[in-house]
């Protein structure tokens, strides 16, 4: 099965990588189900996809709530009859030095970037196991591959996602459930994530980096589509993507 006619659930779908992926996948014949907290944005995207002839629906979703994740999956099945791919894309990046002790932001990152992924896995894994097929795609970060100042907690959540996906892939192979996984490690991609940074020094440094290097999120969307479009017997596990001119 290729992209066409697959039902793809996307968290963090109201902007950036999530929005671009939804638009691209819908244009290739996927049935996309968008989840995020900003329903006004989701409605605009879904209406636009429908006007272009695509199939899409949206659901108000807070990934930190386990029940909402389960309801998201139920909604998708009610809309389109199946669940084939879960793109766990929601994330926060309020970077700061550890010495700033922004512990509330640390907890927010753990709740969204790590627990949010776990909640999504828990919500859809029984479906994938039961049908012996499915695919998880996650948005990690280059901060999930190497350490960066101001990014200790953010990076820790993204390193955790990397391990989760790799173990999930291995366990699925051992259990014969045929679940595929792919983890994406973006560098400077045009995003709203920078708006979550409250530390002045970290914000200035990150803004300078992104202003100098960032590329558009549709570049990542094309990688998401590539991962989904592989034959069912083929797993492509990891993709690092960023601007050619950025020495990340």
**For 37-78, how does the pLDDT look when each residue is reduced to its tens digit (9 = 90+)?**
999 999 999 999 999 999 999 999 999 999 999 999 999 999
Which position has the token pair 């638009």? 23
CA 179/CA 131 separation, integer angstroms: 10
Rounded Cα distance between 197 and 203, Å, is 6
Domains and CATH numbers, the chain: 7-240 (3.40.50.720)
Q: What's the rounded Cα separation, in Å, for the pair 121 and 128? A: 10
What integer pLDDT is reported at residue 193 of this predicted model? Answer: 85
Report the alpha-carbon distance of residue 87 to residue 138 in Å, rounded.
Answer: 6
Residue 154 falls in the annotated catalytic set? yes
Number of H helices, E strands in the chain: 8, 7
Residue ranges in 81-151 assigned as alpha helix (H): 103-109, 116-131
The pLDDT of residue 1: 53
Contact (Cβ atoms closer than 8 angstroms) between residue 144 and residue 241: no
pTM beyond 0.75: yes
103-120 pLDDT tens trace: 999 999 999 999 999 999
Instruction: Tell me which of 154, 185, 210, 213 is the catalytic residue.
Output: 154
pLDDT of residue 2 exceeding 60: yes
In this structure, what is the dihedral angle of CA atoms 31, 191, 12, 228, given to the nearest 10 degrees?
A: 40
The alpha carbon of 60 is separated from its chain's Cα centroid by a whole number of angstroms, namely 16
């Amino acid at each position: 099965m290729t992209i066409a006619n697959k039902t793809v659930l996307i968290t963090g779908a109201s902007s950036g990588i999530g929005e671009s992926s939804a638009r691209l996948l819908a244009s290739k014949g996927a049935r996309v189900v968008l989840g995020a907290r900003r329903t006004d944005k989701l409605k605009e995207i879904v209406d636009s996809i429908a006007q272009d002839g695509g199939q899409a629906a949206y659901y108000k979703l807070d990934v930190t709530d386990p029940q909402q994740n389960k309801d998201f999956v139920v909604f998708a099945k009610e809309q389109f009859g199946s669940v084939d791919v879960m793109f766990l894309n929601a994330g926060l990046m309020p970077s700061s030095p550890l010495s700033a002790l922004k512990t509330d932001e640390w907890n927010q990152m753990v709740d969204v970037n790590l627990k949010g992924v776990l909640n999504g896995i828990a919500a859809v894994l029984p479906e994938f196991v039961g049908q012996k097929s499915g695919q998880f795609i996650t948005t990690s970060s280059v901060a999930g591959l190497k350490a960066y100042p101001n990014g200790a907690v953010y990076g820790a959540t993204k390193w955790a996602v990397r391990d989760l996906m790799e173990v999930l892939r291995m366990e699925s192979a051992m259990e014969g459930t045929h679940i595929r996984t792919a983890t994406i490690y973006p560098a400077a991609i045009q995003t709203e994530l920078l708006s979550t940074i409250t530390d002045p020094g970290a914000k200035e440094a990150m803004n300078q980096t992104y202003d100098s290097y960032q590329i558009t999120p549709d570049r990542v969307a094309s990688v998401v589509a590539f991962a989904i479009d592989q034959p069912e017997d083929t797993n492509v596990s990891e993709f690092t993507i960023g601007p050619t001119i950025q020495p990340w």
